[in-house]
Structure 1
Amino acid sequence: MQTSLRRTFTKAVTIALFSLLIASFALWGVGDIFRDTGRGQAVIQVGDQEVGQAEFQRSFQREFNRVRQQIGGQLDMQTARQLGLVDQIVRQTVTRLLFDQKARDLGLLVSDEQVVERIRQQGAFRTAGQFNRQLFEQTLRQSGLSEARYVELLKSAIDRQHLATAVSGALKVPETMVEALYRYRNERRVADYLVVRNDSFTIPAPDTETLKQYHEQHSNQFMAPEYRSLTVLHLDPQQLTDEVAVSEQELRAAYENNKDRYGSPETRQLRQIVLDSKEQAEQARALLSEGRSFAAVAQQITGHAPADLGEMRRNQLLEPLREAAFSAEQGAVTEPIQSPLGWHLVKVDKVNAGKTPDFEAVKDELRADLAMDKAVDSLVELANTVDDHLASGASIAEAARQVGFEVRKIEQISRQGNAPDGEPVEGIPQSGDFLETAFETEQGQRSLLKETDEGGYYVLRVDGVTPEQVRPFEQVRDQVLSAWRADQRAQQAQKTAKHIASKISEGATLAQFADDRGLSVQTTQPLTRGDNRQAGPVGRALAGKLFGIEVGGAVTAGVQNGVAVAQLKQVQAANPAENPDAVAQLRDQVRQGLRSDVLAEFANALRTRYDVQVNQQLLNQILNRSS
């Protein structure tokens, strides 16, 4: 309910996502950074081609929004600049202008007929297989483009495409290259293997001096984390819920307003036909009234089957369709309905009635929710009181007394929220930034008053800091012994596995060692140099090494709790003639890779021919406005 609206979230973009951003630019993002100039009003100038402030801001915002949507919306301008996304978009724009300038110098022309045909064929402007003028205009409005400007941009794009085709269209991939690459990628290898397990070795207990030496040499394994002692005032709404009165009238009003939350809404299984004009819709409706099936009418008029919308709730439909679709009887077809996408006929294939529990069944849950909402509301005033007293110089304890809350002392808490015994510290504010705040605040300092995820508030003071340090040997003796034994077992397993591999190279067989140790010899699935996700962890660990030996040779690889010893049993050569479709697909991939390389080199050559300038001052102004 209302509590959820008060929650705050922090969004972060990781470096892992950056690879997705870089990949999204492909050809148009290559090249070095360009020299800065403060002259003129153009943000970017390449030869005679210029991009002004307004145009660059529009195109930059569109590209930025596209990338942000591609990674789930978790991207802000500051992070984009830190990760180099801004430079990538500038490079992308510069490379487009380089191609535009070259196309202009060559006198390339695009006819109006070409532009019209390209627009009519773009899927973004088509519904039910036909060009939709209304959808075209709506899309341009949403993109902030006039029709004339869109046509101009499209002509430039076609010019660039023609130029790119001229530069790289004649590329041919040597068949011997494709076949060699196919054989390399698709060769498979099969091996027999056994696993020498670490826990198959018995290690006698060492003396104390050996353990102390291990403790000293591997001290990073036995560290105690940094701990902090805190004074915390937590304005927890849960502490006020018992004091909040909720009337019967409020409960019944909340029940009426939230029925969907406690039950399941009505849904309907729907299909629709979307038509370009009212006349077509009326024609379809007339055919349906003659007894024709919905599918047959759709096929006759549009050439396609009706669109299956699936099971829909009322609020999932376009606004113009909701009332008609949810008023019709099961099996009925609505009258023609107009929307920005065209004219619709909707058929109700099935009605699934909603379910709503009665008031008494959810009364207690309603009371708890309303009490929490009221408690959260009342905390706003208390939080303001606390904030005012803290600002006037009062201590956390003095501010707490003003609002009737108690201050809590936390003797030791780690960054993970644990006490020294490893157990979680109970009762701390369940807010994503509480521990972060506790470990970013300096010793002796007080944090700001902050809101929690539950609608409460907290303020803390760091009373003491115990730095990260090595735990004393006597305190962790058992852990040291366990770690030492694990290391010794792993070393014995590695040593034994290497011994077995060397003997196999001299003519021994895996079966001999398996019998001696009570192990079983297993066989891998056919492994490739690439994707072996279906091969299991042992197969994946061995795959890379098996491609470096001859049949009969042996390799070792570390696996979970042991070491695998494998003997190459079989090499399964790949024959391109057996899979022409895969070879054709690989040929296309290689051609595309070569094409990208050629176009990248061509773009770099254009940079040496044309003067490229970026007005960094104007660029920064635009980025600051976008932030």
Structure 2
Amino acid sequence: MLQFIRSKVTSIFIKFLFGILILSFAIWGIGDIFLGSPGGRAAITVGEVSYNSAEVLEQFDRARRAMRLPPEFDEQLRPQILTSVIESLTELGLYEAESQSMNLVVGEERLKSWVASAPAFRDSLGQFNPDVFRQALFNAGLSEGQFFQTLRNDIQRDQLNAAVASGLEPPQALAETLFRYREERRTAKVVVIGIDSITNPPEPTTAELQGHYQITKQNYMAPEYRAITFVELSPDSLAKEILIAEEDLRAEYEVRLDEFTTPAKREIDQYFFESEAAANKAIASLAGPLDTAGVSNALKAAAGDDKLISLGEVTALELSTEGEREAAFSVELGKASHPVETPFGWKVFLAKNETPGFVKSFDKARGEIQLELAREKALDAQFELSNTLEDELAGGSTIEEAAKAVDLPINSIQAINANGVGPDGKANSKLPPGRRFLTKVFKTEKGTLGDLVETEDDGYVLFRVDHIDEARQLSYQEVVRAVRESWLSDKRLALANEKALALANASKGGVGLEVAATKLSYQIGDTGPFNRSGEGLTPGHYPASLADVVFGLLKGDVGVVESDTGVVVAELSTILVANKNEFYGAWSKLMDELGTSLQQDLQYFYRDILRNHHDVVIDRGYLDTLMAEYQ
């Protein structure tokens, strides 16, 4: 197979094919320039604001990419994505139309100020960095024009919403009622009767087991199993057979030398001075033998505490200018650098520690480079191999004959379920990575050759479904042991319930749970305070519904709560009224939630008002046509 791969990697035909594809993309890509406006006609109109087909499709494509849907779901969810895009653009249009009618303008200076102060566009030193800004726009798929228009729209929308909701406060009575309800705590006395404490349940009769089987038979199903034959093209497997020449490895190492170079780092403090003279005066005051701490204290005293910024460990490239890099990385450790002029004043650097840089040698990088270059060649070879496989199959070859033609191993699995597990309950290690392959296998009919499936490791799999064992009901004889264990578990739970009800009844008439539990030799405990959601209860020790039951009791009442592992008998002990001072964080959170909820409700009604002020026209037929042509 190695010779086959080598011959295909350098195939002139493949290079010619890619040349044709590149040319065709270039032609189609410039078609709109010569054939008309790429924008198309208006698809959504809101008052004087309109969005053409290109804008709608751009938003649709951005939303679809952001969802990262698997291919099998992408087609199904397109109508829902389109509806969401239409709603978003309509809402955007309503605010933009209202801004225009009110002559709301967002100036360039405000936009620039917002960008300069945004944390997302700052570098590791906390300063605005144009390169970080441009990279963020690139990652989002936005041009600068698109970004600033979106920002302008957001600011205008926020201005309108703020004007509508200005001064809105949640009603105090409502907030206090909700707070008392939500933050009330209760404690309870509890007795836990676990099913493991029922050690002598009666043995079931055959009739009881068969009856239990009939009731629970839905729990005893054998899943569908399929026998499959498949051929896998894996770039990692192919790469193992490709040897890269020594001169190519060395050439790649030289090209990527920066990648294998770890620059030196220094722990640096920087001090700001208003003038060069002030900076030089501070440096001149560092007379006598001073250690690093002494130099730091002297510079801090001269500049002021608020003029010191500790940069931590940084590389030279993380500093803004060449002058700063030279000053900070040429100065002797523990000494003050010469002053450097910057837009923020004069800086003096103190290098406190240094971690030397190093370069990974070629011998240490060889394996990594070999693997990456071999994988690149394997990906090229894999494309041709997959074409050859498909050609063989189209010519009438079986999957076994096609695999032999390209010297690939054939794989067979006699029984696998949709989760990749065999009848022995173990996962099959032969399976290609990811869920996509099995999903396709279980959608393919018996005896049918499946489509070529792309795997998560950039490989491909070609398969055939040889046999299908349909899902079936397991017989009583096959599962009699499991049925017996299930019956015994249910019986233990029933007996625990009987004991719990007897204890609850013994607690009535003013006796109380503690006295009744002592008489019947049960161990009793206290829960400690907990709220309606169960916060405060020991996780895993009590059933989840215990809080619901206790919050439905009057003081001194007893309730019974069942779980899979036993039964709990609980008596309400105390009711702790919520106090705003004690739970101030919860009170503040509630007020924020209510405020946000009221603002959202008001904004919803406001958008309805805007719809009445600005005509909304959605050309759904045109949009549906666009979607039918969308690829």
TM-score computed with the length of structure 1 as normaliser: 0.71
- Note closer, same or farther for the CA distance 1:364–1:135 as it changes in structure 2 (3 Å cut): closer
- 1:87 corresponds to: 83
Name the SS of the counterpart of 1:205 in structure 2: coil
Match status 1:612 vs 2:616: yes
Quick one: distance in 1 between partners of 2:399 and 2:155?
Answer: 67
Deviation of 1:420 after TM superposition, in Å, equals 1.9
Deviation of 1:374 after TM superposition, in Å, equals 7.8
Q: Specify which of 578, 596, 600 is matched with residue 574 of structure 1.
A: 578
- Note closer, same or farther for the CA distance 1:334–1:121 as it changes in structure 2 (3 Å cut): farther
- 1:217 corresponds to: 215
Letter of the structure 1 residue corresponding to residue 425 of structure 2? G
Q: Specify which of 548, 559, 564 is matched with residue 568 of structure 2.
A: 564
Q: Deviations over 1:278-310 (max 9, x none)?
A: x989899868855685996899699665264x5
Match status 1:418 vs 2:416: no
- Note closer, same or farther for the CA distance 1:198–1:314 as it changes in structure 2 (3 Å cut): farther
Quick one: distance in 2 between partners of 1:453 and 1:117?
Answer: 46
- 1:194 corresponds to: 191
In the TM superposition, 1:201-212 aligns within 5 A as: 201=198, 202-212=200-210
- Note closer, same or farther for the CA distance 1:614–1:452 as it changes in structure 2 (3 Å cut): closer
- Note closer, same or farther for the CA distance 1:195–1:256 as it changes in structure 2 (3 Å cut): farther
Deviation of 1:412 after TM superposition, in Å, equals 1.8
Quick one: distance in 2 between partners of 1:579 and 1:569?
Answer: 21
Deviation of 1:565 after TM superposition, in Å, equals 1.8
In the TM superposition, 1:113-192 aligns within 5 A as: 116=109, 119-120=112-113, 123-124=117-118, 143-146=142-145, 150=148, 154=152, 160-192=157-189
Name the SS of the counterpart of 1:218 in structure 2: helix
Quick one: distance in 1 between partners of 2:55 and 2:429?
Answer: 56
- 2:482 corresponds to: 479
Letter of the structure 2 residue corresponding to residue 120 of structure 1? S
Q: Deviations over 1:93-136 (max 9, x none)?
A: 3334434545555x465586xx7457535622986999969689
- Greater Cα offset, 241-250 or 529-538: 241-250
Deviation of 1:464 after TM superposition, in Å, equals 0.9
Deviation of 1:323 after TM superposition, in Å, equals 8.1
Quick one: distance in 2 between partners of 1:280 and 1:139?
Answer: 33
- 1:553 corresponds to: 557
Quick one: distance in 2 between partners of 1:322 and 1:446?
Answer: 66
Name the SS of the counterpart of 1:230 in structure 2: strand
Deviation of 1:569 after TM superposition, in Å, equals 0.8
Q: Deviations over 1:59-90 (max 9, x none)?
A: 7777x49x93xx8x669994795584543443
Quick one: distance in 1 between partners of 2:589 and 2:52?
Answer: 42
- 1:43 corresponds to: 43
Letter of the structure 2 residue corresponding to residue 198 of structure 1? I
Quick one: distance in 1 between partners of 2:298 and 2:222?
Answer: 70
1:505 and 1:552 in contact (8 A); partners too: no
1:58 and 1:144 in contact (8 A); partners too: no
Structure with the bigger RCO (C-alpha within 8 Å, sep 6+) is 1
Name the SS of the counterpart of 1:306 in structure 2: strand
Deviation of 1:178 after TM superposition, in Å, equals 2.4
- Percent of aligned pairs with the same amino acid: 26
2:267 and 2:313 in contact (8 A); partners too: yes
Q: Deviations over 1:246-276 (max 9, x none)?
A: 8877888888899999x9956635558699x
- Note closer, same or farther for the CA distance 1:481–1:121 as it changes in structure 2 (3 Å cut): same
1:527 and 1:535 in contact (8 A); partners too: no
In the TM superposition, 1:225-244 aligns within 5 A as: 225-234=223-232
- Greater Cα offset, 424-433 or 560-569: 424-433
- Note closer, same or farther for the CA distance 1:523–1:442 as it changes in structure 2 (3 Å cut): same
Letter of the structure 2 residue corresponding to residue 435 of structure 1? L
1:533 and 1:540 in contact (8 A); partners too: no
Quick one: distance in 2 between partners of 1:268 and 1:78?
Answer: 47
- 2:439 corresponds to: 436
Q: Deviations over 1:370-409 (max 9, x none)?
A: 8888877766665554333222110122223334445344
Quick one: distance in 1 between partners of 2:452 and 2:506?
Answer: 69
Quick one: distance in 2 between partners of 1:624 and 1:345?
Answer: 64
Match status 1:459 vs 2:462: yes
1:299 and 1:306 in contact (8 A); partners too: no
2:340 and 2:347 in contact (8 A); partners too: yes
Quick one: distance in 2 between partners of 1:87 and 1:181?
Answer: 36
- Consecutive unaligned residues of structure 1, counting only runs of 5 or more, are 1-39
Letter of the structure 1 residue corresponding to residue 602 of structure 2? V
- Note closer, same or farther for the CA distance 1:323–1:131 as it changes in structure 2 (3 Å cut): closer
- Note closer, same or farther for the CA distance 1:563–1:346 as it changes in structure 2 (3 Å cut): farther
- Note closer, same or farther for the CA distance 1:589–1:479 as it changes in structure 2 (3 Å cut): closer
Letter of the structure 2 residue corresponding to residue 562 of structure 1? G
- Note closer, same or farther for the CA distance 1:494–1:269 as it changes in structure 2 (3 Å cut): farther
Quick one: distance in 2 between partners of 1:394 and 1:501?
Answer: 76
Deviation of 1:446 after TM superposition, in Å, equals 1.2
2:507 and 2:515 in contact (8 A); partners too: no
2:226 and 2:467 in contact (8 A); partners too: yes
Name the SS of the counterpart of 2:555 in structure 1: coil
Deviation of 1:553 after TM superposition, in Å, equals 1.4
Quick one: distance in 1 between partners of 2:301 and 2:584?
Answer: 39
Quick one: distance in 2 between partners of 1:333 and 1:249?
Answer: 45
- 2:531 corresponds to: 528
Quick one: distance in 2 between partners of 1:211 and 1:510?
Answer: 37
Q: Deviations over 1:339-366 (max 9, x none)?
A: 9x99999865433346788888899999
Q: Deviations over 1:318-356 (max 9, x none)?
A: 9989986996565686996999x9999986543334678
TM-score computed with the length of structure 2 as normaliser: 0.71
Q: CA RMSD in A?
A: 5.4
2:179 and 2:587 in contact (8 A); partners too: yes
